[in-house]
Structure 1
Amino acid sequence: MEQFLKDLFADQSYNEKSFFLIAGPCVVESEELVMEVAEKVSGICKNLGIPYIFKASYRKANRTSASSFTGIGDDNALALVKKTGETFRLPVTSDIHAHDEAAPAAEYIDVLQIPAFLCRQTDLLVAAAETGKVVNVKKGQFLSGPAMQFAVEKIRKAGNNKIILTERGTTFGYQDLVVDYRNIPWMQAHGVPVVMDCTHSLQQPNQTSGITGGNPQLIATIAKAAIASGAEGLFIETHPNPAIAKSDGANMLRLDLLEPLLKQLLKIKEVV
């Protein structure tokens, strides 16, 4: 495991032969929700020896419809993400969307996540790098794994080597994505750990209803294949009741299904 990841997980006991997990609800809906999810997932991961980063977006800047929920307010949401991490002694992550968000967000979170659509934005990548925080860049749906070398180079040239790349599917027609598992070793060739986003890779975007669809029944399939392909980490958005989630409910994993899935994945990891 990379040294910066060992430092990130310093407060957690884990098996270095495991993978790490980034998980949480898509967006901060309420304090009750983030605390419930973090308590449940952190307990599971502690028992299984899986390093865990709590994730919740403080604001959803990329929504299909203008009427979609975007957040409870940046300051309130960031404060709740930070409080969640402090309560359960977890590193936390959230998206940033513009270069001037990097420094303020870095006061609250440990890992700055760069959304897939913004992975080529030089000023955003440089600003994130300059905070000194871990930077997790999601591969654009329109890019190949090898092309992500340029995002990595921008961050490194800004003086930051704490980089994660996340595979989240590739555009397949107008309303679907497909996962090409070649991207895992291709992106690892850039000298960084690679995460598989098991939920967003199952999105069905650009629906005429204005609400993104998904195939959550295939989350386990995506996750198993990713671990078998050598991914260092998994990204899984989870919610106690995805049907009432305010964002991405169509492709989130129901919270009570997470533990049995992680147990299966650990068995696959042992074999690999």
Structure 2
Amino acid sequence: MIDYDTYEEFYDPETYDLICDPFNEDMPTIEQWAKTTGEPLLDLACGTGRMSIHLALKGYEVTGVDIVPQMIARAQQKAADRGASIDFVVSDARDFHLHKQFPFIFMIMNAFQFLPARPDHEAMLACVREHLTPDGYFLFETRNPSPRNLYEPRHPQAEHYTTVDGRQLITTDHEYYDPMTQIQHCTGHLQFTYADGRTEARTNRVALRYVFPQEMEALLYYNGFKIHTVYGDWQRNPLTAESPAMIYVCQKRD
């Protein structure tokens, strides 16, 4: 049972960017597929536009969709600051209708895990099918349900950051995995320290749904997709039991 707002960490997009924006390991693979398929591109659960802006500055036509208005507002400002033209839309990945199709749709940064149950997965996949061209590709990323990901601390040590306005930020977190729901409940603790010594504490909670490989194969098949490729990481190594991620590239099934 999820009795909290699992999107609460996204209501502060500036702090989200401080932690997540430097990540770039996924860019070569996404660029490769964008080059293979051509445009337009759909960045589903685009967050603050990290990948959308990167691709738009490479010359691609990009649409970004995210459920959190604060994230889209931040993405629009970042795109404007960098001179990138992107159509950003506030909408739910389970219920969006853009009235156009795309040869490449991608859903990265483990956004798939914010869909907590099978009906959510099926609704999202139906929307993707609606928006995918007949020969198009859908790429999405989710963490591999390995014992390490499920039961070992993701960040065993506190992490330190400096915000753009000079505050010091220390983050710690802990996780609990419920094997019956396949949901990992993650609690993040953020401690901000101001220049004058004042402190501010926040807590963010996130519910991450895990899907096992055989379960994923059935989920995709019975929702009209065939698997083209599966990577175990962004270096495009094959999926193994110890891989950190499961990155699926799919097409519509006849």
| Fold match (TM-score > 0.5) | no
The structure carrying a bigger strand percent of its residues is: 2
Q: TM-score, length-normalised on structure 1?
A: 0.35
The structure carrying a bigger helix percent of its residues is: 1
Q: TM-score, length-normalised on structure 2?
A: 0.36
Larger-Rg structure: 2
